[in-house]
């Protein structure tokens, strides 16, 4: 039962259609046969305030976490991460001219959930 969480800073809600991003990222994993979309649980997680760095500057960000049961090799997990990141880049491409300069932070993390410690 994979879990996909898209955390984001609330200051982008009026600039990006986050429901569309969620659906697109969810469906991007269709190209990964090791992910059963019928079992994938995806959600948006807003954060009221996000700061970064030594100067504690407010930032705009999207961070995606995909949690999968343990047992998948590193190459497979990297494939998941690349698919998600490419989709995320496509979905935010029109965000603004400053995106390449860090105005919108995009990150993806693939985590393993220990099978023996996952209950359902």
User: Model confidence over 2-33: pLDDT tens digits?
Assistant: 999 999 999 999 989 999 999 999 999 999 99
- Which fold, 3-117? Macrophage Migration Inhibitory Factor (3.30.429)
**What φ, ψ does residue 119 adopt, rounded to 5°?**
-120, 140
Please provide the average confidence, as pLDDT, over all residues in the chain.
90
Residue ranges of domains in the chain: 3-117
pTM of the model: 0.90
User: Model confidence over 72-96: pLDDT tens digits?
Assistant: 999 999 999 999 999 999 999 877 5
User: Model confidence over 46-75: pLDDT tens digits?
Assistant: 999 888 877 777 889 999 999 999 999 999
* DSSP sequence for 27-94: HHGGG-TTS-GGG-EEEEEEES--EETTTTEE-EEEEEEEEEETT--HHHHHHHHHHHHHHHHHHTTT
């Amino acid at each position: 039962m994979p879990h996909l969480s898209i955390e984001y800073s609330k200051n982008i809600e009026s600039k990006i259609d986050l429901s569309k991003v969620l659906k697109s990222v969810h469906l991007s994993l269709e190209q990964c046969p090791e992910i059963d979309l019928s079992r994938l649980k995806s959600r948006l997680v807003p954060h009221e305030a996000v700061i970064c760095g030594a100067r504690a500057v407010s930032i705009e960000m999207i961070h995606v976490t995909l949690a999968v049961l343990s047992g998948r090799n590193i190459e497979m997990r990297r494939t998941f991460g690349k698919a998600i990141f490419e989709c995320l880049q496509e979905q935010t491409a029109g965000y603004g001219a400053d995106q390449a300069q860090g105005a919108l932070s995009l990150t993806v993390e693939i985590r393993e959930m220990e099978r023996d410690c996952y209950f359902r």
